[in-house]
Chain A
Amino acid sequence: MPKIARDLLLILLPVIAAFAVLPAIYSNHLLLFNFIIAMTLAQGLNIIYGFTGYLPFGYVGFFGAGAYGFSLAVMHLQAPPLLALAAGAAAAVLFALLLTPLFRLSGAYFSIANLAAALAMLQVVSNPNLESITKGPYGISLNGVFNPTFAYASALAILGATLGLVIYLRRSHFGMALRAIREDPISAGMAGINVVRERIIAWLLSALVAGLAGGVFAWYVSVFYPETVFSVEFTIFSIVFVLFGGNATVVGPILGVIVLYGIYNAVGISTPQYFQLIYGALIMGLVLFLPNGLISLLQRRGIDVP
């Protein structure tokens, strides 16, 4: 059996099946939905950070763009939800296209510029002068399309597609090329990889995932403020999930979400500052002692973990 089929069977199928069955047993559907969003965003960030090494500190910008793309399509064009979801994805991809010049910057400069771009986007959509278009800082309310069951199913489908994409990247030539670019762009270019094009494709795919997640989030919660969907916490959480499990792997971010987001929901919501402390210490410890995440403990022993 080819490896890619095995991964689909052993990773994607159980995760999707679990999230499909759980709502019948467990009554807190919002929590399950948040798990799906967290997992989708972590994998989306994994596509750009894990495979190309660029850390998008403003990743939440695409999530927010997706949420607002969805909402604007519903409010102003009366679009049906699935069409509005496409609009949200398009908004995120357009925003990503607009930011492609940032790839001229290296490392930390890229991350800072990207964060600035996301914050600039927040300032624009929450500006009171644009109230007639975006409702400014007063938040959006989408009662017309509220349908949690349908939205949950769509989120699950998006998660499935994202996991499939990451499994493909993990096992395909394209993913290999991306990792080669991450290790050494010049050698990768000499080996015949079109560095600029491949990198931008990964960037747009990553933004597409976040845009879809943002759109479906707007649909599911249907009442939110600009600060909700542009909260830097989404980026932070995604980075920590990916770092914790192991970047450029399929299992790593899933593990990160289940363990850390699980702990967060158990203790973090009531005492956020203690959780922030644990998070910060965890990030520092990981960077200093285990920069490739938990999975690297297995990989070092020669065990192939997808």
Chain B
Amino acid sequence: MFTYSLLAGLLFGLYFSLIGLGLNLIFGVMRIVNLAHGDFLMLGAFLAFWLFTLFAINPVPAIPIAFVGFAIAGVPIYYLLVPRLLRAKDPEMLSFILFFGLAQVIEAVTTIAFGTSERSIPGNQLGQAIATVEGLFTGHAVDDGPVEIFGQTFPASWVASGIASGCAVLLVYVYLYQSRLGYLTRAVMDNREEAVAAGIDVHRVSAIAFGIGLGLAAVAGVFAPFMLGSITPAMGAEITITAFAVIVIGSLGNPLGTVLGGVIYGVSYMLMQSYFSSWANLLPYVLLIAILLVRPSGLLGRRVRRA
């Protein structure tokens, strides 16, 4: 029971890191709060659902489609909303309200378009993908049933989502620390004014970061039908809160802290589910408040508060 909760928590923790990652990247670079994060995730989930239902496209190829599509869509959204915001007196607070409005718009439009019914993708779809990949490596056919790790069996979709989330986090790490654009992105994160003074095109860097943030949300959305249950247009708000809990535990504005936050969140969530299931829903809120009060800058963070 304990090993099971721990391992399941780890898998879910990796997935939760992916959920928080996009939100944290956007906050880190632009110091704006994307309260519509969960709704972009929901849109990603719907994209995966329609790709599967209409064109029978497996969720695995849907991942790059979702990422590229949302990243490209993110750039015009950035130029439409953010530069105007950053000129205001208190951009952080105003962005909070603005993106809240955007969240409402997205949820309403999705409801009008698709209705409120719950939708899902059969869980074995990811299992088939994982079995195919395993078959390529081992050279013989592997069945798409549950996967066994350390004597515990887990649904193949959990394992696939956990692994894919880990890969996504790794790619973001490579982008930030090994590419030139990532180098510039970190410069903007560190100090916006000095980045401008050093001749960095801050808006271009921010727009790309914004696009990547939305793309990551969409990728997390592709796995949502397997990890979070059926998808509805109203699922966004709760996910936004979870994402916040994750990145606040890690630390705001530090994408790598998100992984720590996600794993802590995932493991404690699974342990709560196993031992105090009726109180498990309370966890994200209590964890969020506790961390904010004890260490407002998060576990890995430096000082963030000014006044």
Contacts and interface: CB of A to CB of B under 8 A. Distances in A.
Interface of A: 53, 55, 101-102, 104-109, 111-113, 115-117, 119-120, 123-124, 127-129, 185-186, 232, 236, 239, 243, 273-274, 276-277, 279-284, 287-288, 291
Interface in B237-265: 237, 241, 244-245, 248
Contacts of A116: 241, 245, 284-286, 288-289
A279 B289 CA distance: 29
Contact of B108 (A117, A128, A276): A276
A279 B162 CA distance: 37
Interface stretch (B96-104, B207-215, B221-229): B96-104
A283 B97 contact: yes
A107 B93 contact: yes
B200 interface: no
Given A106-B307, A123-B285, A284-B101, A291 B94 contact: yes
Contact of B96 (A108, A186, A232, A288): A108
A119 to B, nearest CB: 5
Contacts of A281: 101, 105
A59 to B, nearest CB: 14
Which of B94, B285, B288, B306 is packed against the most chain A CB atoms within 10 Å? B285
13 contacts: A102-B289, A102-B292, A104-B296, A116-B286, A117-B285, A123-B282, A127-B279, A274-B112, A277-B112, A283-B100, A283-B104, A288-B81, A288-B84
Contacts of A277: 104-105, 108-109, 112
Contact of A108 (B33, B84, B112): B33
Contact of A280 (B88, B105, B241): B105
Closest A-B pairs by Cβ, 6 of them: A280-B104, A283-B101, A280-B105, A277-B108, A120-B285, A276-B108
Q: Is the interface of A mostly helix, strand, loop or mixed?
A: helix
Contacts of A113: 288-289, 292-293
B92 interface: yes
A115 B106 CA distance: 21
Interface in B101-130: 101-109, 111-112
A106 B94 contact: no
Given A116-B285, A276-B108, A106 B306 contact: yes
Interface of B: 33, 81, 84-85, 88, 90, 92-98, 100-109, 111-112, 237, 241, 244-245, 248, 278-279, 281-282, 284-286, 288-289, 292-293, 296, 305-307
Contacts of A104: 293, 296, 305
B292 A287 contact: no
Given A185-B307, A276-B107, A280-B102, A120 B97 contact: no
Nearest to B252: A109
Contacts of A280: 101-108
A102 B292 CA distance: 8
